[in-house]
Chains A and B, each alone.
Chain A
Amino acid sequence: MKTLLPAGRWFAAMILMLVLAPVASAQEAPDAMVKRVANEVQQIVKSDPKVQAGDQQRIREVIETKLLPNFDFEKMTALAMGRNWRQATPEQQKQLIDQFRALLVRTYSGALSQYRDQVMDFKPMRGDPNATDVMVRSEVVRTGQVPVQIDYGMTKTAGGWKVADVVVGGISLVTNYRDEFNEQIKNGGIDGLIKTLSAKNQGLK
């Protein structure tokens, strides 16, 4: 697709990890939860022969059963919609959540097939223990490279802590999609955005 500036060398690795960053629920502490799920997924990816062979069905299964239960897609979609979220009808909101979820699953499936061995370091969590939104910080270490910081924006729900954003090397997934969503809504309204999302998902099947 496009060539990138030298600064873009990091940028490129970032995008890759943005979708690679594996994540994680229950009433455990948010950082413990992320760490557990990240390790679980890493183990599966490293040891499952079907995943290693690039079996898309198996990869999607791992994502559906291991990763997705730990995401709060409603919050994620609402954040990515920004002020447009309140303008959407409940029916539109439901479709948006479904389509956004499907898009992320497909992207993650593609990314997991490119997974390479990585060492993850989790940093001690700072901040208010009673907060309902916290950041869990981690770092991926690669020899000879600047470590890549991966932060998980966590939100407290009735079902435990859930991931509401992933920030890789400063690139927030939610912020990135907010621009994309805004642009689609400006051109074709909320229904236009739903149409684009579902067309994208159909095309990727």
Chain B
Amino acid sequence: MRRTLGLLMVAGTVALSGCATTGGGRAFDPFEPVNRAMYAVNEPIDKYFFKPVAQAYVDYVPSIVRTGISNYFNNIDDLFSAVNGLLQGKLDKAGHDMGRVMINTFPGILGLIDVASDLGIPRGNEDFGQTFGYWGIPQGPYLFLPFFGPSTVRDGTGFVLRVLWSPTTEIPNVALRNVIYGLGGVDIRAQALGATSLIDEASLDPYTFVRRAYLQRREYLVYDGSPPPPKDDE
């Protein structure tokens, strides 16, 4: 069921983002009013809930535990990176990622210990959104989602696929599974603590700032670090 749903979404994304413009230039944000509303909704929730929770997590949970938790999620990211490396024909990246997953899952105890990095095996950092981009599917409309932050139709689809197909969904104990999802959220938010306060300081309008930074970053990743130069006069 989950697999079918996932495949339907892939088809939907191709259809939806097909009609969109691509590349540098202006941000493609046809849902801007809705996105801004979502941004406004997210702000207080984050300020009074997620941020304090993440701060407490950093303050009270020992760093060795936090590193283990980050490693667990990185290991799953690496698994998807391997799949997406393959889907883009980047065999050396896929090989590194596959090696990482093997090493970190078994000797590294389900990913909690990042043995592979100590061995110097680099992370591929590929995902479904990048695979879509590699095959020429444009970003589609920009989306700002409460709880999840900046995305686009293309990357959002990739994210949902990643969640649907994650090995974490196979954990039979619902409570444990939910705890892991919760920890995943806290882990991400905790890592963003420094950055988010800087966005507030650096930006004239945080919404536009986050949007452009997100779109630039994704474009860069799709082109593996050498995107075509942006148009200068926009």
Contact of A13 among B27, B39, B195 (CB under 8 A): B195
Q: Which one, A22-30, A47-55, A89-97, A179-187, is touching chain B? A: A179-187
Q: Is B139 an interface residue (CB 8 A)?
A: no
A1 proximity list for chain B (CB < 8 A):
43, 46-47, 51, 196-197, 199-200, 206
- Bound-state CA distance A58–B48 (Å) is 33
Q: Is the CB of B150 within 8 A of A4?
A: yes
B216 proximity list for chain A (CB < 8 A):
170-172, 175-176
How many residues does chain B have at the interface if contact means C-beta atoms less than 8 Å apart? 65
Contact of A180 among B74, B185, B189, B209 (CB under 8 A): B209
Taking each of B159, B191, B195, B199, which has the highest tally of chain A beta carbons within 10 Å of its own beta carbon? Answer: B195
Q: Is the CB of B195 within 8 A of A16?
A: yes
Excluding A1-B197, A11-B217, A179-B208, 8 further A-B contacts by CB distance (< 8 Å) are: A2-B39, A3-B147, A3-B148, A5-B149, A7-B155, A144-B117, A170-B216, A171-B216
State which residues 183-218 of B face A: CB under 8 Å.
184-185, 188-189, 191-192, 194-206, 208-214, 216-218
Q: Is A146 an interface residue (CB 8 A)?
A: yes
Q: Is the CB of B201 within 8 A of A11?
A: no
A19 proximity list for chain B (CB < 8 A):
198, 202
Q: Is B57 an interface residue (CB 8 A)?
A: no
Nearest chain A CB to B218 CB, angstrom units: 7
B117 proximity list for chain A (CB < 8 A):
143-144
Binding site for B on A (CB under 8 A): 1-16, 18-19, 79, 82-83, 103, 106-107, 110-111, 114, 143-147, 149, 169-172, 175-176, 178-184, 196-197, 200, 204
Classify the secondary structure of A's interface with B.
helix
Q: What are 18 of the A-B contact pairs (CB < 8 Å)?
A: A2-B42, A2-B149, A3-B192, A4-B192, A5-B155, A7-B218, A8-B192, A12-B192, A13-B195, A14-B213, A106-B201, A110-B197, A110-B201, A176-B209, A179-B211, A180-B208, A182-B234, A183-B208
Q: Is the CB of B198 within 8 A of A15?
A: yes
Nearest chain B CB to A23 CB, angstrom units: 16
Q: Is B182 an interface residue (CB 8 A)?
A: no
In the complex, the 3 A-B pairs of residues with the closest C-beta atoms, listed nearest first: A170-B220, A12-B192, A12-B195
Nearest chain A CB to B7 CB, angstrom units: 21
- Bound-state CA distance A3–B45 (Å) is 10
With known contacts A1-B43, A169-B217, A200–B188 Cβ distance under 8 A: no
Q: Which one, B58-66, B170-178, B224-232, is touching chain A? A: B224-232
Nearest chain B CB to A97 CB, angstrom units: 16
Binding site for A on B (CB under 8 A): 27, 39, 42-43, 46-47, 50-51, 71, 73-74, 77, 114, 117, 122-123, 125, 127, 129, 147-151, 155, 159, 162, 184-185, 188-189, 191-192, 194-206, 208-214, 216-221, 225, 227, 230, 232-234
B188 proximity list for chain A (CB < 8 A):
3-6, 8-9
Contact of B189 among A3, A14, A170, A178 (CB under 8 A): A3
- Bound-state CA distance A66–B107 (Å) is 47
Q: Is the CB of A82 within 8 A of B204?
A: no
B206 proximity list for chain A (CB < 8 A):
1
A15 proximity list for chain B (CB < 8 A):
195, 198-199, 213
Contact of A10 among B42, B114, B202, B217 (CB under 8 A): B217
Q: Which residue of A lies closest to B193 (CB)?
A: A12
- Bound-state CA distance A61–B147 (Å) is 39
Q: Is the CB of B151 within 8 A of A13?
A: no
Contact of A146 among B39, B123, B205, B234 (CB under 8 A): B123
Q: Is the CB of A179 within 8 A of B27?
A: yes
- Bound-state CA distance A169–B224 (Å) is 10
Nearest chain A CB to B27 CB, angstrom units: 7
- Bound-state CA distance A67–B206 (Å) is 25
Taking each of A1, A5, A79, A200, which has the highest tally of chain B beta carbons within 10 Å of its own beta carbon? Answer: A1
